[in-house]
Amino acid sequence: MIDVEDLIALVRNYNPRTNADLIRRAYDYGREMHEGQKRHSGEDYFSHPVAVAAILTEQRLDDASIVTALLHDTIEDTKSTYAEIEERFGTDIAELVDGVTKLTNLQLSSTASKQSENFRKLFMAMSKDLRVILVKLADRLHNMRTIKSLPHEKQVRKARETMDIFAPLAGRMGMQWMREELEDLSFRVVNLEARSSIIRRFITLQKETGDVIHKITADIRAEMEKEGVEADVFGRAKKPYSIWRKMQEKQLAFSRLSDIYGFRVICRNEADCYRILGAIHRRWRAVPGRFKDYISQPKSNGYRSIHTTVSGRDGKRVEVQIRTRQMHEVAEAGVAAHWSYRDGERARNPFAVDPAKWIASLTERFDNGEDHDEFLENVKLEMYSDQVFCFTPKGDVVQLPKGATPIDFAYSIHTRIGNSTVGAKVDGIRVPLWTRLKNGQSVEIITATGQRPQATWIDIVVTGRAKSAIRRSLREEDRERFVKLGQELARVAFEHHGRKATEKALRTAAKTLGLSDETEVLARLGSAELTAREVIEAIYPELATQPVEEVDARRPVVGLMADQSFRRANCCQPVPGERIVGITYRGQGVVVHAIDCPALAEFEEQPARWVDLRWHSGRHAPVHSVSLNLTIANDAGVLGRICTLIGEQKANISDLTFVDRKPDFYRLIVEVDLRDAEHLHMVLTALEAESDVAQVERYRDLGRKP
C-alpha cells in the first residue's frame, strides 16, 4: 500500500501547491474508518482507495478528486456519514463522495429495464459534477486489475458490466488509454482463450518479421529529420481485444489483418502536424478512406489529432496519429484535462473541453426518452459512435456518427425539421433519404408542411436522437388514430346494449381497469389491447352473463318495410357497427350505404328516397364482404402466411386479385367476409403487425355501382 507521503509526492509532481494537510487528514480518516476490513485478496481494504487515488494522480487531478478517492467507500462501507465528511472536509468533497456512493449502489448489469433507468441516473449524476465518474472509473480500473481474487461468476459479471458500460464511457470521455485497459482486462476474464491465442500469434509474428515496431519507428524518425521537424515518435502493437473486435467485425483471420500496429507522432505546433502528414504521405502510400482530420473538426470531447493509415515497411498497413503535445494531453486525459494541474496552477489547455457543456450536449438528447429500452439503446449508440462531419448550406458544421443519413442530419438540427423531412440534397444532388453521409459533404434538407415520420425511418437512422424522435412521433400519430377508432368501437358496443359511451361512463371504466383516463381507454380499445366487451363489463358486470343474441343474416338491419328487399352498397361496403342509411331504388329495394359514403351526395335533393336504418344489436354472422388493399413483400411464402393470418382471425377470404406486381412488392385486393366493425379492426391490426405487410387499408371503390 502506498504511504501517505508517497501519495503526496505523486501529487506534488504536478501540483507543488497541493494542500498536503488535507490529503493527510483524508488518508488518516479513511484508514481509521476501514480499520479491520479486508479485500478478497486478504489485503487491508484501505489499500484500494489509496490505489484509486494514485490512478487519479496519473491524470493530474485536483486535490478534491484525490481526497474523494481516499474516502469514496466510507459512506457505503463504514460508520461514516455524509454530515461527518462535510464537517471534516467541506461540502464540495462530501457531495463528491456521496455522488460516487450513489453510482456504486447502481446495479448497472441488472435487467434491461432497470439497467436503462440506472444509466439515466448515472448520466444525471455526471451532469452535476463529472469528477464523480472520474473517481468511479478509477475505482473500476483498480477493481479490474485485482479481479483474480473474486469468485469466477462474479469476475464474469463484473467484466461484462465493464465491457458494456465503463469501457465505452471512458472512451466517450476521451480517455482512450483507460478504455483499452478496461477492455483488455475484461477480455482476459470473458474470453481468456481468444486473448491468449492472439498473444501467441503476435509472438510468432515477431519471430518471423523481427521487431517491426522498432524498424517503422526508426523510419518515421528518419523522415522527421529530413523534414527538419522536432517530434517524438512512439509505436505499439494494438491491444488484444482491439484486434479481436476487428477480426469479428470484418470476419477476418489474424493472418489477414493489416493495421495491427499503431504509431503516434507528437510535435510542437499545429503547422508541424500537417508538415509531418505530408512527409509521411510522400514516403508511404496512403490507404484510401482511412484519413481523418480531427484537428480541423475536433470530437465533442475535445479530442484533436490527424489519423492516417499507410502501407509501411514490407507492405504492412500501419495507423499513424499526429498531434501536438497539448492535443496529446487532452487525448490521454479526455474530459478530465479540464481539472489537470501543472506547477500548482490549473493547466490552461486550449483544447480541453468544458465538462459542463460536454455533459449537457450528451444528456439533452436523452431527456425526452420515455421508453427504458429506447433510452439504453440511445446511450450505447452515442457511446460507440465514430464520427463524420457534414455542412449545412450556410457552412455550419454538423457532427454525426459514422453511417448517418440525411434524416439523422435533419434531426440533429431540430426535431421539427426531422419530422417534416421529405427529401435531401447532398452536394447539390438529390439523393435517397437512406444515403450514408461522408466527411465534408454539404447537406440540404427539403421539408414539407404536414409531413410525418415514416415507420421505415427507424431502420434507416443511426443516431439515438433521431430514433427517439421518430418513435415518439409515431406513438403520437398511432395514438390519435387509435383514439378515434376506439371512440367508434365504444359507441357501437354501448349502443348494442342500449347505452351511450359518455365521458363519465368511460372515466368509470378507466378507474375500474386501473387506467389513467378515458382517453387511455379509447386508445387501448382502438389498438386492440382492450376489447369492447371488457370495457362494457368494467361498468356493467351484469351484462357479462347475458347471452349474446344471434342476428338473422337475412334481416340484419332495422327500419325496412316487411316487403322491402335490401343489399349492401358495393362502393362503401358497410358492416355492422357502422352508421348506415338506406337509399330506395325502383325495382331494386333498398341499398344500404355507410353514413359517410361520398356516393350519397347525388341524393341530397331527393330526401324521399332516404330510409333511416340501423344494424340489429347482437352477434352478426361473418357474411359481410369487405375489400382490403394490401401491399406485401414479394418473397417466398409471404402470401401463404398472410392468408393463414386472416384465417386465424376467423375471417374467410372470398376473392383475391393482384393489382400490381413489382420485383420487390405485390399489391393486391383481398375480399374478406366479416362479422362487424370490430372484426374488421382485428383483421387490420393483425395485418399491420406483420413485418412482410408494407401497407394495409380498407379499399372503397367509389367508381363501382351501388
Mean per-residue pLDDT over the chain, rounded: 81
Asked which of 267-276, 317-326, 352-361 is least confident by mean pLDDT, the reply is 352-361
Which set of grid coordinates corresponds to residue 183? 477492455
3-class DSSP assignment, residue 399 = strand
Among 396, 377, 338, residue whose Cα is nearest residue 463: 377
Which set of grid coordinates corresponds to residue 681? 379492426
Q: Tell me: pLDDT of 120 over 80.
A: no
- The string of DSSP codes covering 179-239 is HHHHHHHHHHHH-HHHHHHHHHHHHHHHHHH--HHHHHHHHHHHHHHHHT--EEEEEEEPP
What was the pLDDT predicted at 277? Answer: 92
Q: Tell me: pLDDT of 568 over 70.
A: yes
Domain 624-698 has CATH 3.20.80.10: no
Q: Which residues pair with 592 in a beta bridge?
A: 568, 582
Among 103, 101, 36, 105, residue whose Cα is nearest residue 72: 101
Could you tell me if 93 and 61 are in contact, meaning their C-beta atoms sit under 8 angstroms apart? no
What was the pLDDT predicted at 603? Answer: 87
pLDDT, tens digit (0-9, with 9 covering 90-100), for 441-470? 889 999 988 888 887 888 888 887 888 888
What was the pLDDT predicted at 48? Answer: 92
**pLDDT-based confidence at residue 110 (cuts at 50, 70, 90):** very low
CATH T-level topology, domain 194-346: Beta Polymerase; domain 2 (3.30.460)
What was the pLDDT predicted at 369? Answer: 45
Could you tell me if 453 and 469 are in contact, meaning their C-beta atoms sit under 8 angstroms apart? yes
What was the pLDDT predicted at 405? Answer: 92
Which spans in 334-453 are helix H? 355-363, 372-384, 406-413, 415-419
Q: Compute, in degrees rounded to 10, the torsion defined by CA atoms 499, 502, 506, 509.
A: -40
* CA dihedral (216, 217, 221, 224) positive or negative: positive
Could you tell me if 390 and 412 are in contact, meaning their C-beta atoms sit under 8 angstroms apart? no
Class of domain 4-190: mainly alpha
Q: Tell me: pLDDT of 203 over 80.
A: no
3-class DSSP assignment, residue 604 = coil
Round to whole Å and give the CA distance between 403 and 405: 7
In terms of DSSP bridges, do strands 557-558 and 614-615 run parallel, antiparallel, or are they unpaired?
antiparallel
DSSP H or E run through 474: helix 464-496
What was the pLDDT predicted at 340? Answer: 59
Catalytic one among 43, 77, 537, 688?
77
pLDDT, tens digit (0-9, with 9 covering 90-100), for 670-689? 999 998 888 898 888 778 76
Asked which of 182-186, 370-374, 523-527, 697-701 is least confident by mean pLDDT, the reply is 370-374
How far is CA 463 from its chain centroid? 7
Instruction: Please list, in sequence order, all residues whose beta carbon lies within 8 angstroms of the beta carbon of residue 107, skipping any fewer than 6 positions away.
Output: 114, 118
What was the pLDDT predicted at 379? Answer: 52
578 is catalytic: no
Say what the pTM is: 0.52
Q: How far is CA 354 from CA 52, 301, 304, 331, 564, in A?
A: 24, 9, 15, 15, 83
What was the pLDDT predicted at 257? Answer: 54
Question: Where along the chain do its domains lie?
Answer: 4-190, 194-346, 473-545, 557-615, 624-698
Asked which of 181-195, 223-237, 254-268, 559-573 is least confident by mean pLDDT, the reply is 254-268
Which set of grid coordinates corresponds to residue 568? 349492401
Sheet of 610-612: strands edge to edge? 566-568, 589-594, 580-585, 610-612
Highest mean pLDDT among 215-219, 387-391, 513-517: 215-219
Q: Tell me: pLDDT of 116 over 70.
A: no
What was the pLDDT predicted at 112? Answer: 46
Convert 466-503 to b/e letters by CB count within 10 Å (16 or more is b): bbbbbbbbbeeeebeebbebbbbbbbbbbbbeeeebee
Q: In this structure, which amino acid lies at residue 513?
A: L
Catalytic one among 43, 44, 58, 76?
76
139 is catalytic: no
pLDDT, tens digit (0-9, with 9 covering 90-100), for 129-159? 778 888 889 999 999 999 988 888 888 888 8
Asked which of 324-338, 622-636, 654-668, 671-685 is least confident by mean pLDDT, the reply is 324-338
